[in-house]
């Protein structure tokens, strides 16, 4: 499952342009803190400023919103290339936001002095099922999915973990693309912690979606363990031994 991003630009009047990405991905819900919003806005402002500077001062950044919208003024006497700015912003913003998120929620091995942990996994139909712990109390079985750029949990396991799952049009939303190519809308919430063995990340934003039984497989899972968690460690899967090993590659990765 991959979170989809889109970019568009619309003229609001002479010299004004509004550029937006991450359509439908508002961050103004009950789980979003002021520090989250400030971190996001700062990261997006830095990207917008860098992309504007590439246009040789023909664009001025006026405002950057938490949802990724940027208001730009086209300066007089210049010949701006708004599509080039949009392409630059669309390309760099997701990676910059991801880096800001990693810095704010560092991966850790909670064992004293440890940098590596191994957990038993199940292998069914060439798929790896990983035991995880949400919020320190709720056990979950997650499908290891390196192709998913965000961890996904079902509404049922989210509620059992004490997460406030938005209903209807409430809460933060985003578009996600399933492995089948189908695009769906998911809710975004933050877990206090997610652990696999002794590997832990706090305050991680995850998607909530009703997964169901996958491709008629003879098992059900509580979600996907995605690259937002896995990529923060060096990962080794040993199907014969039935283990998943996660190791910290460096401080703050």
State how far the Cα of 131 lies from the Cα of 176, in Å rounded to an integer. Answer: 24
**pLDDT given at position 78:** 56
Which residues in the chain are classed under CATH 2.40.70.10? Answer: 108-247
State how far the Cα of 223 lies from the Cα of 207, in Å rounded to an integer. Answer: 9
**pLDDT given at position 168:** 59
State how far the Cα of 81 lies from the Cα of 69, in Å rounded to an integer. Answer: 18
Which residues in the chain are classed under CATH 3.30.1360? Answer: 2-104
State how far the Cα of 226 lies from the Cα of 1, in Å rounded to an integer. Answer: 8
CATH topology of domain 2-104: Gyrase A; domain 2 (3.30.1360)
Backbone angles phi, psi at 87, to 5 degrees: -65, -40
What's the pTM? 0.67
**pLDDT given at position 112:** 64
**pLDDT given at position 217:** 56
Residues of the chain with pLDDT under 70: 1-35, 57, 66-67, 77-80, 112, 168-173, 175-182, 212-218, 250-253
Strand partners for 173: 187
Domain 108-247, architecture per CATH: Beta Barrel (2.40)
Residues 51/88, Cβ–Cβ less than 8 Å: yes
């Amino acid at each position: 499952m991959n979170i989809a991003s889109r970019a568009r630009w619309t003229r609001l009047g002479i010299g004004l342009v509004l550029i937006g990405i991450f359509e439908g991905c508002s961050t103004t819900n009950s789980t979003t803190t002021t520090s989250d919003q400030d971190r996001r806005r700062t990261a997006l402002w830095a990207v917008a400023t860098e992309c504007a500077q590439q246009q040789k001062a023909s664009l001025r950044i006026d405002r950057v919103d938490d949802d990724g919208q940027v208001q730009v003024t086209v300066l007089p006497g210049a010949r701006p290339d708004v599509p080039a700015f949009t392409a630059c912003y669309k390309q760099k913003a997701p990676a910059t936001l991801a880096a800001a998120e990693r810095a704010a929620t560092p991966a850790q091995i909670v064992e004293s002095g440890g940098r590596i942990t191994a957990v038993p996994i199940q292998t069914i139909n060439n798929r790896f099922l990983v035991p995880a712990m949400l919020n320190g109390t709720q056990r979950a079985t997650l499908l290891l999915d390196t192709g998913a750029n965000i961890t996904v949990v079902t509404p049922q396991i989210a509620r059992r973990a004490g997460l406030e799952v938005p209903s209807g049009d409430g809460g933060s939303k985003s578009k996600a693309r399933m492995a089948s190519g189908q695009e769906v809308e998911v809710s975004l919430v933050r877990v206090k912690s997610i652990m696999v063995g002794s590997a832990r990340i706090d305050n991680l934003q995850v998607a909530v979606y009703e997964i169901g039984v996958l491709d008629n497989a003879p098992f059900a899972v509580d979600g996907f363990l995605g690259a937002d968690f896995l990529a923060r460690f060096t990962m080794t899967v040993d199907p014969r031994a039935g283990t998943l090993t996660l190791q910290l590659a460096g401080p703050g990765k």
